[in-house]
Chain A
Amino acid sequence: MKLAFTAEENAFRDEVRAFFATALTPELAHAGRHRTSVYSSKEHALAWQKILYDQGWLVPSWPEQYGGCNWSLTQRYIFACERARAKPPALSPMGLSMLGPALLGCGTEAQKTHYLPRILRGQDYWCQGYSEPQAGSDLATLQCSAVRDGDHYVLNGTKIWTTHAQYATHMFCLVRTGTFDRPQKGITFLLLPMDAEGITITPIRFVSGAATQAQVFFDNVRVDASQRVGEENDGWTVAKYLLEFERGGGASAPGLLEAAEDLRTLAAELPDAERSALETRLAGLLTRIEALEIAELQALAETERRGSPGPGASMLKLLGTELSQALTELQVEALGTYGLVHQPGALAFESNEAPIGPAAGLTTVPFYLNNRAATIYAGSSEVQRNIISKAVLGL
């Protein structure tokens, strides 16, 4: 969608564009362009985070007193578009986009004062401990237990698929503190340091070859009761609130549009038979991405009005992730065999291993493979469809 910008908005866009152009060091620019999943490495994420923090642009949507920008929706949209254009490293979302908003909505004053500044300054690096081997889509049946012992909870059990657990300083997690008529009841939301005694972390290797996730084991881990967010046995309320931010709250269309633009260039170089087929599919995707962009802008306005994204977030998550997978499908095809190379050694900054094909080919397969998870994590596509049909349509 081509929004008509005012003179001030155009000036803002120029300012943001100039900022990205100068703030990204060659190494960070390389890291951003060679990202193989939605996550950048901790090192690059934090380096970029510090630059944004110093600029005051780290968390535009937060309340101003906690570091927000008081930008208009148009300004936030402009920022998202410029970011998609500049391709900086990805920020780690667990603190900035998940726990932060959750604490703002549900945390105590003490928790906000202690944790929010530390999240912003990158002093604490968070991971999300929800899923368990037997509790994936059916998250509410989680079993990792926390038993009250004086001023502490004592944790036993395991969490799995925890992104960046091996790099995190802290985890926010859901634990079972009681058994009631409904599995959603009896869950408690806790914050804990990853260096606590009794925690073991086993990284998990994924199909792409990377080990970004891990399984975490708890053996009598003691957590101070002051680290509870919300009421005991009522952690599901906090978790659901947070999940809305995990699923919605962002804008995926600007990034998808950039990727589609790159694809257009690639498609033009294809042999005839492949080119026309690919261009037709790309055009079909583009119309859907443009539609998503408008829907995301509307959702942004809705979030502003009601304070959190709401169940409509499920629809945007579903559309955004399925479209991004469809785009990566086309990327693999458009590059032909160059889009299938396996050459992790050539990905590093200033690597002296010559790439087999164009540099863009190096990230294609790993990104494609990692991106298959987008329709699995934060609630699979099937789960989102169940939510939409139940919570929105009343079926």
Chain B
Amino acid sequence: MALVLNEDQSFIQATAAEFCASKAPVSAFRALRDNPGPAGYDEDTWRAMVELGWSGITLPEAVGGTDFGWQAMGTILEQTGRYLAASPLLSSVVLGASALSLSENRALAEVVLPQVVDGTVRLALALEESPHHQPYGAALTATASGDAVQLKGEKRFVMDGGSAEQIIVVARESGAPGDRDGLGLYLVPREAGISAVAEKLADCRAYARLTIDATVPASQRLGGAELLDAVLDRGRAALAAEMLGAAQAAFDQTIAYLKERKQFGQVIGSFQALKHRAADLFGEIELARSTVLDALSALDEGRDDAALAVSLAKAKMGEVLHAVSCEALQMHGGIGMTDEFDIGFYMKRARVQEALLGNQAFHRSRYAALAGY
């Protein structure tokens, strides 16, 4: 288990921190919130990220990537999470590209992945059909006829589903919603029959409701439930890394405020009631950080307890980010409630991050099941 960053990873982290601070700071997110544009992120910033190689960090050199792995990707997402930097990294590079790179459909992966790496194609994963994370809940039908498959149904809250050029659709080939068996993942170009309506959530990322009525060649099939599980675990670990950055940012801003704000003739950070809670949060963030690093390295090393490590990290990180975002606001007092102050952004972002790809309850329960309880 590698719990410290190697030289490459440290370098990537430093670059990411510098890039986000100068090119995608929280003020840029605020501007996007007020004026989101068609994609919900700034296209120039995204191109700059692509030029830095971020779209290929986890992908093999054969398709143009650098193969630095999930720990490296985690260091980047930690920074984008810290600065609330908007990009399709999670939707396209983490979830989308994983579905191709882990797929047995090598022919398709070899065509599409180089386009993801060079930024000409953006992907999105269309999974949920209800307001709760249900990995095997797909009811959207996949009906085969000859060499073609017809996909018909609706997907909800698809991250960047309105801007991605190609959508990975989780469909039901047989069985009933809830069955792990009978799922199929298909790569579907938007123009094949997908229409999108924006669904706005509190975190001001771009989500869409997709109505799908598309017929694609059977060769667009990427895999089934096993692939889906592997893709989701990469998404969850990456999301946990992003949440770690958000928790750290909210915590750092709060500590700075505790040292600055005075009441009763002293800085509020001198009140023991706040000091002890700050000390507890510090410990909790460190614990969460360990679980996130462990989950990412489990993926890099292909450990067979990777799923367990991922659920542990997502559950723990969710719990800690929840506490940090609430405490951050409380310790700021009235000013923390204002839109002008950034701290509220982290609370809104946190509630959505917690729910995405499984909330604390989901992952505790999955952890218990995987651990044999």
Contact = CB atoms under 8 A, between A and B. Distances in A.
Contact size range, A: 35 or more
Given A274-B132, A341-B202, A382-B271, A160 B330 contact: no
Interface residues of B, number: 44
B124 to A, nearest CB: 16
Contacts of B152: none
A131 B156 CA distance: 44
B56 interface: no
A59 interface: no
Contacts of B364: 273, 277
Interface in A266-300: 270-274, 277-278
Nearest to A345: B200
Contact of B334 (A161, A274, A335): A161
Interface of B: 128, 130-134, 156-157, 199-204, 209, 262-265, 271, 273-274, 326, 329-330, 333-334, 336-340, 344, 347-348, 351-352, 355, 359, 361-362, 364-366
Contacts of B366: 273
A373 B333 CA distance: 8
A372 B264 contact: no
Contacts of A138: 263-265
Interface in A310-337: 332-333, 335-337
B131 A338 contact: yes
Contacts of B199: 341, 356
Given A332-B351, A382-B273, A382-B274, A337 B132 contact: yes
Given A206-B338, A376-B334, A340 B329 contact: no
Q: Which 3 A-B pairs have the closest CB atoms?
A: A207-B344, A336-B131, A273-B365
Contacts of B344: 206-207, 369
13 contacts: A136-B263, A136-B334, A207-B347, A273-B362, A277-B364, A277-B365, A335-B131, A369-B344, A372-B337, A372-B347, A373-B334, A376-B333, A380-B330
Contacts of B209: 356
A340 B330 contact: no
B347 A340 contact: no
A27 B263 CA distance: 44
Contacts of A338: 131
A357 interface: yes
Given A273-B365, A342-B202, A375-B330, A207 B348 contact: yes
Nearest to B330: A375
A213 to B, nearest CB: 8
B254 to A, nearest CB: 14
B330 A372 contact: yes
Contacts of B271: 382
B204 A342 contact: yes
A147 interface: no
Given A340-B355, A382-B271, A372 B338 contact: no
Nearest to A337: B131
Nearest to A269: B132
A148 interface: no
Nearest to B358: A273
A373 B362 contact: no
A103 to B, nearest CB: 27
A363 interface: no
A380 B337 CA distance: 13
Given A137-B264, A337-B132, A382-B271, 12 more contacts: A131-B334, A204-B340, A207-B339, A272-B365, A273-B362, A336-B130, A341-B199, A343-B200, A365-B202, A372-B347, A380-B333, A385-B273
B339 A209 contact: yes
Contacts of A339: 131
Contact of B201 (A341, A373, A377, A380): A341
B331 to A, nearest CB: 9
A341 B198 CA distance: 11
A385 B364 CA distance: 33
Nearest to B178: A271
A205 interface: yes
Interface in A112-144: 131, 134, 136-138
Contacts of B134: 271
Nearest to A134: B262
A75 interface: no
Nearest to A339: B131
A381 interface: yes
Contacts of A376: 330, 333-334, 336-337
A205 B333 contact: no
A357 B201 CA distance: 11
Contacts of B334: 131, 136, 160-161, 373, 376-377
Nearest to A358: B131
Contact of A204 (B130, B329, B338, B351): B338
B226 to A, nearest CB: 21
Kindly name the residue among B133, B265, B333 whose own CB sees the greatest number of chain A CB atoms within 10 A.
B333
Kindly name the residue among B130, B209, B351 whose own CB sees the greatest number of chain A CB atoms within 10 A.
B351
B302 to A, nearest CB: 27
A209 B203 CA distance: 12
A340 B361 contact: no
Kindly name the residue among A357, A375, A381, A382 whose own CB sees the greatest number of chain B CB atoms within 10 A.
A382
A160 B133 CA distance: 42
Interface in A341-395: 341-343, 356-357, 365, 368-369, 372-373, 375-377, 380-382, 385-386
Nearest to B261: A136
Contacts of A272: 365
Contacts of B326: 372
Contacts of A207: 329, 337-339, 344, 347-348
A57 B352 CA distance: 43
A206 B348 CA distance: 12
B351 A278 contact: no
Contact of A270 (B132, B202, B264): B132
A138 B200 CA distance: 39
